[in-house]
Amino acid sequence: MVDWSKKKVIILDRDGVINHDSDDYIKSPDEWVPIAGSLPAVAQLNKRFKVAIATNQSGIGRDYYDQDVLAQMHQKMTLLLEEHNGQIDHIEFCPHHPDDGCDCRKPKPLMLQRIAQEFDATPEQVVFVGDSKSDFECAQNFGCDFVLVLTGKGLKTLDKLAGKDITIEKSLAKLVEEIH
């Protein structure tokens, strides 16, 4: 169980946690559609925590879209969050193809390390919220708490992580209800 009183940074995976995911990748601002309740949930988290995103964006490495389009997707997210008085305090992304052998692609912990450094936080002060096995492994590799949400790939991931001691929530919105 997560001790929320000791946390100062909540790191969110993007696709499947904040917005709907697609096996065909989210390739444009039009395809970036928030999951019901996720944006107000981020705004609630902003009241107690720094909120960051750590997201693998291999669609860039696969030439499905470029970093300008990713920036447009994040601009759309920012504008929609502002309607709820919410914000993302920092974004880290890995643009590489899985075969590139980079140091930043989850499950490697570099993105989480960079975010923690940005907010002068230790792993014990961080929670990573994700929907995939690589998110879970990333949190394990960094040494922070992990919450699995059942949106996105979460239900499939639940089977893959059977027997692991993890906190599970139906969605980001439900998680926020539990901690507020």
Cβ-based neighbours of 107, under 8 Å, separated by 6 or more: 133, 134, 135, 136, 137, 138, 140, 141
Examine the residue annotation and report whether 100 is marked as an active-site residue of this protein.
no
90-94 and 126-130 strand pairing: unpaired
Q: Is the pLDDT of residue 132 over 80?
A: yes
Over pLDDT 70: what percentage of the chain?
Answer: 99
CA distance linking residue 21 with residue 3, whole number of Å: 29
Catalytic residue (choose from 3, 15, 24, 89): 15
Considering the chain, what is the average pLDDT of its residues?
97
pTM confidence score: 0.97
Examine the residue annotation and report whether 103 is marked as an active-site residue of this protein.
no
CA distance linking residue 122 with residue 85, whole number of Å: 27
Type of residue at 2: V
* 83 band by pLDDT with thresholds 50, 70 and 90: very high
Task: Please provide residue 126's backbone torsions phi and psi, each rounded to the nearest 5 degrees.
Answer: -120, 145
CA distance linking residue 18 with residue 32, whole number of Å: 10
Q: What is the pLDDT of residues 7-65, one digit of tens each?
A: 999 999 999 999 999 999 999 999 999 999 999 999 999 999 999 999 999 999 999 99
Over pLDDT 90: what percentage of the chain?
Answer: 97
Catalytic residue (choose from 13, 21, 131, 145): 13
DSSP state of 35: P
Contact 17, 54 (CB under 8 A): no
CATH code of 126's domain: 3.40.50.1000
CA distance linking residue 110 with residue 94, whole number of Å: 10
For residue 1, the model assigns a pLDDT of 81
Cβ-based neighbours of 86, under 8 Å, separated by 6 or more: 39, 40, 42, 43, 44, 45, 46, 51
145-149 and 50-56 strand pairing: unpaired
Average pLDDT value for residue range 89-98: 98
If one counts the domains in the chain, the total is: 1
For residue 180, the model assigns a pLDDT of 65
What residue numbers bound the domain in which 151 lies?
A: 4-179
